[in-house]
Chain A
Amino acid sequence: MFGRHTGRGGRLFGAAALTMAAGLVLAGCANGDSGGDNGAAPDPGAGGDSNFAITFLPKSLGNPYFDTSNAGGAEAIAEFGGTFQEVGPTEASPTSQVSFIQTAAQQGVDALVVSANDPAAICDALDEARSVDVKVVTFDSDTNPECRDLFINQAEAEGIARVQVEMIAEQIGGEGQIAILSAAANATNQNAWIELMQEELAANWPDIELVDVVYGDDDDQTSFDRTAALLQTYPELRGIVSPTTVGIAAAARYIQTSQFQGQVAVTGLGTPNQMREYVEDGTVTAFALWNPADLGYLAAYAAKALVEGTITGAEGDTFDAGRLGSYTVGANGTVLLGDPFVFNADNIADFNF
């Protein structure tokens, strides 16, 4: 039937392939429970003992902000005794996070701590993970509340938006054109802050005009290019607000080497180490953030409390978070880390992250 081209040999191998495929299926079916009996794997269903297997899944790997939060998580896990694993896609897209969620579910980890690239896209995968008893804690960027157990919020969205608007308003003298350089277009946290910034501007700063919102996808080169395009398109631009550490670093780098240094203000959310040289040479006057290491640290402790059963994610639950003290779960399963912090030339030397 296969013709002279492959001959009997070809048919033989077609049969062999089918047999093997059947064998694979049977092997999978026979081992009905996930075989975590090799020493390397965390023991599934071991919620009671002291070895918590927690996997951190940030928006993408290779982002200094998430490297810091991962380190905070690792510190917490080392403190309370557990296994820390960090995984992530190379680019910040929602569908690429799905395979890591599936892998975590397969490995039977105790908890997954994730910063979502899209509030809905990874929901189905997260629900699948939760159905095999993996606790899901989101941090930094939330998903729809139904598909996670807890959300660790770095600061009130309203506070983050207000601080950035106040900084840029101060730096451009209260009037003029500004633009926003954001991250991925669907990132929950970004869109929440942008919307609140627009409200704050409309309410309190009538002389400031927001001319554009562009997306750098948390990619350095893309953000750099978007900054250049903004300055080309809007010659009257007085300031750029970038509520993402990759964006603000790229924008500052562009402004620093261009004719606009000192004329176009750059502010937003950045890390001290990345922004240090721009603050020291005056490209950037002030920027804000919280401590991402604390965020990862708190997320890990929250995950531990969920796995232990100390809390269930309901409003009013309290749990202990090591050196950060005790935290209470607020409405909608949200835990608030604290207030945003403003960095400038006076205090930047005190920080190292």
Chain B
Amino acid sequence: MDAIYIHAERCLDCRACEVACGREHGASNIIVVRVADRFAAPLMCRHCDPAPCAAVCTAGALTADDGLILLDAGRCTGCGLCLLACPFGLMFPTADGRAVHHCDLCADRRDRGLAPVCVLTCPTAALHREKHEHFAKRLQRRAAADILRAQSPMMEVRR
């Protein structure tokens, strides 16, 4: 599936993604979570299938479309059930509390051939918008290099 994949070990809690997303969308749909002053990870809507938020939505504002959960803000009544249903806490109330917002992988930019802003702005390239096999290939290559280095310490392994 298409999604934003995260190399969380590269996240340095700089908040560039939150500020960029907030600028583009009025409020940020991505949130960086800091853990024990040792790690951080940026998190955004996982576009689940089936999606608990869409399942509880009383107004039909959340629908699945081609692997993404789309929000029709015009239909949202602000009932807040989706805020309760999301297991990750990645649906957010709007500032006035009357509706919700979440990450749609910068759908409006995709129509113009542009990548999501969090992906473009991340200073350490922790975020990638790509097919899973490309993301996995990077991890597999790194794992192979680690194994080879461990088993043959004399080997010069460049990833």
Query: Are these two chains actual partners, yes or no?
Result: no
